[in-house]
């Protein structure tokens, strides 16, 4: 009897989780047929996207080669960029690592093509923290600036070279600014500079930090960031960085050595031409069991899918704390569909969020039974680190 082929598009936090969950639930078999799993991703390894700011600050490697996952029997990895899905022929089309156009048939397909980091207009200057290469460029730039500052005799110019602005104060901007301030202070001391001359500004377009959580958590984040040496400017947007001057929305001009943009995520634009049904925000349209509308055997989860809790009407956000539970549920859904049973339906995850703010600093928030529980310090940092490992299926 022929094998069934289950293809997973995207080995990000959601796709890796889907592979693991479907494999474990089915034990590699369905109705007496063996399931052959194929994970296809355009990258040579899994990018730990949630940790993108770590290489920008400390140079940490966040790409894990696929071989690390020691995929057991029945799983193949293919490097390629999927261009379209033909649900009639049950085939996907992709460009392989050598640039060749290729096709592969599926019986089951999981679309987990994720999101990309939003970029400012090119004339707005600075560097957007979009991927590991951009993170490396950012690190190279601020370190070069500090080396230059060490030999600079003009105090104003030295101060500028020791100043960084982080534009966008979502969780990525918050985490980036904290880690960066600590890393820059350390490097400044090594170079014989005064570490207290390091200035990291975090530009927040909103009135307070973390508007999704309670005010108290926002205030605590402000405090921890200030302890790290970050100055948060609320109600301020970065407009444009040019020749070492950052213009803000209130017309203030801030001399900076570097402006880093961390202005959020958008669903993967490649979805536009894949032939999948999409919402106006370019997310895949799925039902409450992650089945793609009108395409038999096709599922979608993670940042690229519009997933709504049918009991509350609440849509999941683009976070991996939501992608993880979706992946686990997808394993059960696929198994139920293969056996013709009724499948579990989507349910929103707990209201919770964690911030890693540099070694032994963090903030965790959970809302349960109407209570806001906030943990800070070493424990929050440890939980956050565990979260990063779980998100990349390393535990």
Ligand X SMILES: Cc1cc2nc3c(=O)[nH]c(=O)nc-3n(C[C@H](O)[C@H](O)[C@H](O)COP(=O)(O)OP(=O)(O)OC[C@H]3O[C@@H](n4cnc5c(N)ncnc54)[C@H](O)[C@@H]3O)c2cc1C
How many whole angstroms separate alpha carbon 300 and alpha carbon 306?
Answer: 9
Tell how far CA 56 is from the center of its chain: 14
> How does DSSP assign 293-332, residue by residue?
TT-TTEEE-GGGEE-B-TTT-PBP-S-HHHHHHHHHHHHH
In the complex, what is the shortest distance from the CB of residue 228 to ligand X, in angstroms, rounded to a whole number?
17
Beta-carbon neighbour count of residue 216 at 10 Å?
12
**162 to 201, contacts with ligand X by CB under 6 A?**
171-172
Site string for ligand X, 201-240 (x = CB under 6 A): ----------------------------------------
For ligand X, the closer of residues 112 and 254 by Cβ is: 112
Using the rule CB under 6 A, which residue among 3, 33, 36, 43 binds ligand X?
43
Sheet holding 238-242, edge to edge: 238-242, 245-248, 253-255
Using the rule CB under 6 A, which residue among 30, 111, 209, 320 binds ligand X?
320
CA neighbor of 350 nearest in space, from 386, 377, 324, 332: 324
Site string for ligand X, 259-298 (x = CB under 6 A): ---------x-x----------------------------
Using the rule CB under 6 A, which residue among 57, 82, 165, 167 binds ligand X?
82
Using the rule CB under 6 A, which residue among 6, 7, 8, 12 binds ligand X?
12
| Contact present, 213 and 365 (Cβ < 8 Å) | yes
Angle, helices 171-190 vs 132-150, to 10°: value is 40
In the complex, what is the shortest distance from the CB of residue 153 to ligand X, in angstroms, rounded to a whole number?
37
Q: Residue 290 — φ and ψ, nearest 5°?
A: 65, 15
Using the rule CB under 6 A, which residue among 146, 259, 323, 357 binds ligand X?
323
15 interacts with ligand X by CB under 6 A: yes
Residues that bind ligand X (CB under 6 A): 9-15, 40-43, 47, 49-50, 52-53, 81-82, 112-115, 117, 171-172, 268, 270, 302-303, 318-321, 323
């Amino acid at each position: 009897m022929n094998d069934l082929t289950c293809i997973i598009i995207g080995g990000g936090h959601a796709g890796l989780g889907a592979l693991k969950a479907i494999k474990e639930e089915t034990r590699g078999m369905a109705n007496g047929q063996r399931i052959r799993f194929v994970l296809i991703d355009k990258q040579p390894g899994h990018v730990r996207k949630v940790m993108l700011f770590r290489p920008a600050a400390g140079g940490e490697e966040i790409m894990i080669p696929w071989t690390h996952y020691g995929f057991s029997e029945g799983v193949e990895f293919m490097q390629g960029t999927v261009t379209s899905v033909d649900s009639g022929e049950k085939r996907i089309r992709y460009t392989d690592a050598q640039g060749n156009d290729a096709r592969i048939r599926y019986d089951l397909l999981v679309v987990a093509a994720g999101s990309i980091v939003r970029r400012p207009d090119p004339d707005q200057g600075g560097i957007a923290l979009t991927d590991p290469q951009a993170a490396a460029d950012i690190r190279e730039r601020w370190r070069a600036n500090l080396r230059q500052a060490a030999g600079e005799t003009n105090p104003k110019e030295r101060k500028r070279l020791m100043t960084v602005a982080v534009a966008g104060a979502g969780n990525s901007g918050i985490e980036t600014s904290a880690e960066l301030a600590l890393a820059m202070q350390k490097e400044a001391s090594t170079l014989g500079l005064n570490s207290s001359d390091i200035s990291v500004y975090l530009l927040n377009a909103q009135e307070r930090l973390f508007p999704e959580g309670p005010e108290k958590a926002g205030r605590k984040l402000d405090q921890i960031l200030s302890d790290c040496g970050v100055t948060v400017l609320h109600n301020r947007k970065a407009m444009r960085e040019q020749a070492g001057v950052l213009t803000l929305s209130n017309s203030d001009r801030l001399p900076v050595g570097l402006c880093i943009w961390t202005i959020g995520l958008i669903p993967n634009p490649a979805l536009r031409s894949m032939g999948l049904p999409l919402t106006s925000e370019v997310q895949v349209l799925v039902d409450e069991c992650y089945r793609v509308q009108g395409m038999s055997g096709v599922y979608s989860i993670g940042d690229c899918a519009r997933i709504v809790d049918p009991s509350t009407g609440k849509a999941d956000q683009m976070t991996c704390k939501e992608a993880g539970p979706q992946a686990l549920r997808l394993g059960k859904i696929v198994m139920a569909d293969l056996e013709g049973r009724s499948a579990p339906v989507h349910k929103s995850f707990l209201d919770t969020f964690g911030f890693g703010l540099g070694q032994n600093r963090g903030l965790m928030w959970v809302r349960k039974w109407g209570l806001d529980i906030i943990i800070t310090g070493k424990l929050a940092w440890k939980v956050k680190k565990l979260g990063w490992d779980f998100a990349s299926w390393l535990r």
